Structure 1
Amino acid sequence: MIDFHCHIDLYPDPASVLNEVDVRGTYVLAVTTTPKAWRGTRKLVGTRKRVRVALGLHPELATQRYSEVALLCGLLPEARFVGEIGLDGSSVHRGSLDLQHDVFERILEASAKQGGRIMSIHSRGAATLVLDALEKHRGAGVPILHWFSGTDRELERAIAMGCWFSIGPAMLKSRKGRELASRMPLKRVLTETDAPFARSGSKPLMPWQAYDCLVELGSITGAETDELRTQILDNLRSLPKRSSNAF
């Protein structure tokens, strides 16, 4: 099982979730929302073989945490994965887009100087702006668009640019999410939960529930569930492995 976008540190009891991740053999990318949370999450994760921690600054926190951009850039030599980063153009956060854009550009530029990073990217309501920035900073690394919700044209552009995508049970609950997922190249798809924000009923999703989307994904792509399991694991293994932090 693979959960390529999970906020492990934001569960009420992250240690117990990590212990269960070990038992179930789940691969997890633990994204962080602030640079200051990165080292604490790494300590929490410890030496677990299947869990990696991404260095992030969530666009929703750009205003409050702008001063931490320099810290993030300074920590990049220690991090193979970057996330959650990106832009949020939803009505609540649209007013800070200029500041978000400055943060995102600085992170991409710094990532490029480090030879590129594997990036988990937020693009809600701002897909075109995200793609513009990625096009400008081609050397920033491998962009994996988490829970992509852009237009058909934006999806086509993202695919042409070589972007990857992470999808999960919550995304595939909506018709638009299913339509977008049906057009994503399966060789560039990973599974995610976006937990504990994404939920199953009244409870937060758990990392080992990321594959709950496979039946639905199979129904819209025509692929068998076992075929999808194999493909997604192959996708994870095909990500660049230029450091000991790779899966």
Structure 2
Amino acid sequence: MSLPLAQPLYDMHCHLGFAEDPASLAEALGARGVGCWSQTVTPQEYEYLSGLLGCSAWRDSGECARVPSALPPLRLGVGLHPWWVPTDACECRRQLERMEPLVGAVRWIGEVGLDFARRGIASLEAQEQAFQSVASWCVRSGGKTLSIHAVGRGAAGRTLDLLQGAGFFADGSNRAVFHWFSGSSDELVRARDAGCYFSVGPRMLQTKRGRAYASQIPESRLLLETDLPPLADGAAATVQAAMGLPDSVDLRMPQWSVERSAAFRGEPSEVASTCASETEADTMAAALVEALAALSAIRGAEPSELARIIGETSRVVLDC
């Protein structure tokens, strides 16, 4: 196992449900000094993971029992990702009916939002209906934090339209975090002025626009993210069932397999699952360190001081 980081870092947008063994990955991240906010893409995935990780929607603390209290925190968001908004109107309504009581009970909501760029997903009207419903439920309950996916021309602006139209920012109790912001510079200013936070990872910082935006985000609104791990081959069937998706939907993404992880570490195949979690945790921790180093260079900041500031902001968002 790798040594813990010099100080805790917080992955504010990841997908533990895409791992071969989400619970083992959560424990491995905690042991490395990494706190995280894990997103889900459907309410079914949230229900599945909350049981697996021991973080029930009905626990006021929102803490996950699989990560000891002495380690950095793990939070689980309930989500309906725009890629998984059903195209069928009746099924979309059923998904929203399933999600509504969860949003009322959970403080952290994610991944939700709009995608105007990807083909083959629900209409913009269906996506907007889903996101507007989530925004209105958050306003009704108060004290919510959203992790927002906004991709494609005008998507960031439209999410802000729907949030502000619902009164999401009105009483100051709700927070919005834009994951991997890719909107226009005007939309960035608008989101910043609304008080939004921004989670930034290595892939965002590989682009010229991403680096420019990272220099303009207020220091007190910066968060780190990895958007990892990718969906493991061996987990595809379990994740599909947890998300309520048919077998015909292929969710697999290029990534290391469990067997490759074991071979990489020189371990026998019978401990491959543990090795996969260790490798994934190392990769995610390294991605956070990489993002922090890139942000420090872009902003001319001292890395340990920037880590301290981002850590404080992360703990506020995670309520810990």
Q: 2: distance between equivalents of 1:214 and 1:30? A: 19
Match of 1:41 in 2: 49
- Deviation digits for residues 126-151 of structure 1, max 9, x if unmatched? 11111111211233620000000011
Q: 2: distance between equivalents of 1:172 and 1:138? A: 32
The structure whose Rg is larger is 2
Q: 2: distance between equivalents of 1:165 and 1:197? A: 21
> What displacement does 1:195 show?
0.8
Match of 2:267 in 1: none
SS state at 1:123 partner: strand
Q: Residues 1-247 of structure 1 correspond to what in structure 2 (within 5 A)?
A: 1-46=9-54, 47=65, 48=67, 49=69, 50-64=73-87, 66=92, 67-92=94-119, 96-125=123-152, 126-139=155-168, 141-197=174-230, 203=256, 206-208=283-285, 209-239=287-317, 246-247=319-320
SS state at 2:115 partner: coil
Q: 2: distance between equivalents of 1:26 and 1:150? A: 28
- Deviation digits for residues 22-79 of structure 1, max 9, x if unmatched? 2112111011000011122112222124111001000111125622111111112321
Query: Which amino acid in the other structure matches residue 123 of structure 1?
Result: A
> What displacement does 1:228 show?
1.1
Q: Which moved more, 1:6-15 or 1:24-33?
A: 6-15
1:2, 1:211 within 8 Å by CA — same for their partners in 2?
A: no
- Deviation digits for residues 191-242 of structure 1, max 9, x if unmatched? 01111249xx965784423232111111111111111110111102333x7x
Matched residues, percent identical? 33
2:86, 2:122 within 8 Å by CA — same for their partners in 1?
A: no
2:36, 2:74 within 8 Å by CA — same for their partners in 1?
A: yes
SS state at 1:166 partner: strand
Q: 2: distance between equivalents of 1:207 and 1:78? A: 29
Query: Which amino acid in the other structure matches residue 77 of structure 2?
Result: A
1:172, 1:178 within 8 Å by CA — same for their partners in 2?
A: yes
Match of 2:262 in 1: none
State the number of aligned residues. Answer: 240
Q: Which moved more, 1:30-39 or 1:72-81?
A: 72-81
> What displacement does 1:189 show?
1.0
> What displacement does 1:94 show?
7.3
1:2, 1:207 within 8 Å by CA — same for their partners in 2?
A: no
Q: 1: distance between equivalents of 2:223 and 2:134? A: 23
Q: Which structure 2 segments of 5+ residues have no match?
A: 1-8, 55-64, 232-253, 257-279
2:85, 2:122 within 8 Å by CA — same for their partners in 1?
A: no
Q: Cα RMSD (Å) of the superposition?
A: 2.1
Q: Which moved more, 1:124-133 or 1:89-98?
A: 89-98
Q: 2: distance between equivalents of 1:70 and 1:202? A: 34
Q: Which structure 1 segments of 5+ residues have no match?
A: none
2:229, 2:284 within 8 Å by CA — same for their partners in 1?
A: no
